[in-house]
Amino acid sequence: MKKWWHDKVAYQIYPKSFYDSNGDGIGDIPGIIDKLDYLHDLGVDIVWLSPCYQSPLADQGYDISDYYKIDPRFGTMEDMERLIAEAKKRNMYILMDLVVNHCSDEHEWFRKACEDPDGKYGRFFYLRDKEEGKLPTNWRSYFGGSVWEDLPGTDKQYLHVFHKKQPDLNWENPELREEVYKNINWWLDKGLGGFRIDAIMNIKKALPLHDYEPDREDGLCSVSAMLQEARGIGEFLGEMRDRTFKKYDAFSVGEVFNEKPEELPDFIGDNGYFSSMFDFNETIFGGSEKGWYDAKPITPDDYKRCCFESQKRIGEIGFLSNIIENHDEPRGVCRYIPEGDCCLESKKMLAALNFMLRGIPFIYQGQEIGMENLPISSIDEVDDISARDEYKVALAAGLSPEEALRTIARFSRDNARTPMQWSDEENAGFSAGKPWLKVNPNYSSINVESQLSDENSVLQFYKKLVAIRKDPAYKETVVYGILEPVWEEKHNLMAYYRKGDKTLLVVGNYQRGEQEITLETAYRKVLLNNYKDIVQEKGTIRLQGYQVLILEM
């Protein structure tokens, strides 16, 4: 069944780092409104905002202390309403981030739970009696250390699978679920296009809570051991869909990990729990239970395999949301392009290979200008709580401080969170004040302003990709056409057909050296090329280093 979001282009904003309208160093909602025309020009239809609700910002807003308020650092409720209205004028949709696996320990519910742990609000959380010298379970939180913390002023402990300032909400409790649905509908009534749904696979715990085999020296085990055992999340998700999104025909995109293959139709099929879910197959590649320091880098062949695996798994069941990066990942151009080869051509190649996959493309702020990782020289410069923990993990595993820092530099979430580079003016034109997080020093060469006037820039290339997706002649094929890999075994080459009423060939030479391909049939037209020419003799094309082509066959 066709849905309004299938042919859209989405864009993720990390509000704190997008554009600061009042010079306090923190990006804000009025700043987003100022830049709506920029996004509209780029061809963006759907804009997802990372959280801007009231929050102590312990995890940069993923710790919400009031779901009905905008944090004053980001603006006011009127600003938010204005943003929704301004977007609507431009046929754009705003998505907010739905963070309901946990709230903040500064949320009223949590405060009331501390006052009366056996009362109504105690049942909104996972509380267990405190026992001296023994934790309720041996799980390790995603951000390090035990998931159990003392509930202030009581003889109990509470569960937090993320930071201790992010207590998990108890979805088994129908009263909590009602509160969640009420909140979602309240926002949808304001005219939101929908939500991106945070960390949602964590809402279903395997009960009764119990220990699992430790997987590190600390005697703890990853939360994922428990999640693997948990069953029945579908009941919660189906109920949420029916009570909220479905009634509004809203778009929902889930941060879904480790779903069971047979459940895919339930998740993103015609009447799925969500409209779409992110493809994380590339981002999780090479990950290690031991920590970031043990992660193995991804090669071009791995990248290709990851993309095609996901495409095959989903087929025509539904629509993935494809990403190169997000606010939790390093910059894709530094990760998926071999070291030393990150350049204009390779950035464009990566963009085209990803953008033309079947699914909904999500561009993360700065990706469209080829922003890169942030160089760091000391752990004190790092803000990301996850990176700070991984630094300790690396040191504990015997790495030298220099090696540990190199690991952090590779994976830190700060890489994606540095201020958006608008121009070569002070602070990259992001703020008139001192930015909350260091600006990447390369802003003088990588910024929006210079790329807007450069026909050859990464930004202009993204615009061309969007234009192909929206061209009435190709849209049906790009959106609904099947994806068929070609020359799959060829080293450092990623190529596929998109077949619908037209046939398109997308081919990228994923290396510095040249490489030849022989076409199966002649092409009619070149839709996009990151080089000026195509070197060819009859049906054989000699691809230049990192050359990418989109051909109509």
* Residue 198 annotated to the active site: yes
Give min distance, CB of 163 to ligand GLC, in A.
8
Say how far apart CA 195 and CA 253 lie, in whole Å: 7
Give min distance, CB of 505 to ligand GLC, in A.
35
Say how far apart CA 288 and CA 285 lie, in whole Å: 9
Based on the shown chain and the rule CB under 5 A, indicate whether residue 400 belongs to the binding site for Ca ion. Answer: no
* One-letter identity of residue 95: L
* Nearest one of 74, 131, 124 to 97, comparing CA atoms: 74
* Residue 255 annotated to the active site: yes
DSSP 126-164: -EEE-BTTB-S--EEPTTSSBSEEE-TTSSEEEE-SS-T
Burial of 522 (0-12, 13-18, 19+ CB in 10 A): exposed
Q: What does the chain come to in residues?
A: 553
Quick one: which of 20, 59, 79, 149 contacts ligand GLC (CB under 6 A)?
A: 59
Based on the shown chain and the rule CB under 6 A, indicate whether residue 62 belongs to the binding site for ligand GLC. Answer: yes
Cβ atoms of 320 and 360 within 8 Å: the answer is yes
Which residue's CB is nearer to Ca ion, number 26 or number 220?
A: 26
Give min distance, CB of 156 to ligand GLC, in A.
23
**Angle value at C-alpha 484, between 311 and 279, nearest 5 degrees:** 15
Based on the shown chain and the rule CB under 6 A, indicate whether residue 198 belongs to the binding site for ligand GLC. Answer: yes
- Tokens describing residue 20: 């600061």
Burial of 80 (0-12, 13-18, 19+ CB in 10 A): buried
Quick one: which of 4, 22, 41, 182 contacts Ca ion (CB under 5 A)?
A: 22
Within 23-82, the residues that bind Ca ion by CB under 5 A are 24, 26, 28
Based on the shown chain and the rule CB under 6 A, indicate whether residue 293 belongs to the binding site for ligand GLC. Answer: no
Within 81-120, the residues that bind ligand GLC by CB under 6 A are 99
The secondary structure element, H or E, covering residue 362 is strand 360-364
Query: 345 contacts which partner out of ligand GLC, Ca ion, none, CB within 5 to 8 A by kind?
Result: none
* Chain mean position to CA 479: 21
Query: 28 contacts which partner out of ligand GLC, Ca ion, none, CB within 5 to 8 A by kind?
Result: Ca ion
Based on the shown chain and the rule CB under 6 A, indicate whether residue 479 belongs to the binding site for ligand GLC. Answer: no
Which residue's CB is nearer to ligand GLC, number 201 or number 459?
A: 201
Burial of 397 (0-12, 13-18, 19+ CB in 10 A): middle
Within 321-340, the residues that bind ligand GLC by CB under 6 A are 327-328
Give min distance, CB of 428 to Ca ion, in A.
15
- Tokens describing residue 322: 């494809």
Within 154-183, the residues that bind ligand GLC by CB under 6 A are 162
Quick one: which of 44, 46, 199, 483 contacts ligand GLC (CB under 6 A)?
A: 199
Give min distance, CB of 404 to ligand GLC, in A.
21
* Nearest one of 511, 512, 508 to 541, comparing CA atoms: 508
Say how far apart CA 59 and CA 64 lie, in whole Å: 9
How many residues at the interface with ligand GLC, by CB under 6 A? 9
Q: Which of 63, 255, 325, 329 is catalytic?
A: 255
Query: 198 contacts which partner out of ligand GLC, Ca ion, none, CB within 5 to 8 A by kind?
Result: ligand GLC
Q: Which of 20, 63, 105, 198 is catalytic?
A: 198
Contact string 386-425 vs ligand GLC (x = CB under 6 A): ----------------------------------------
Which residue's CB is nearer to ligand GLC, number 47 or number 99?
A: 99
Helices (H), 190-319: 223-229, 233-243, 245-248, 264-268, 300-314
Which residue's CB is nearer to Ca ion, number 28 or number 255?
A: 28
* One-letter identity of residue 170: N
What is the set of active-site residues? 198, 255
Per CB under 5 A, residues contacting Ca ion are 20, 22, 24, 26, 28
Per CB under 6 A, residues contacting ligand GLC are 59, 62, 99, 162, 198-199, 255, 327-328
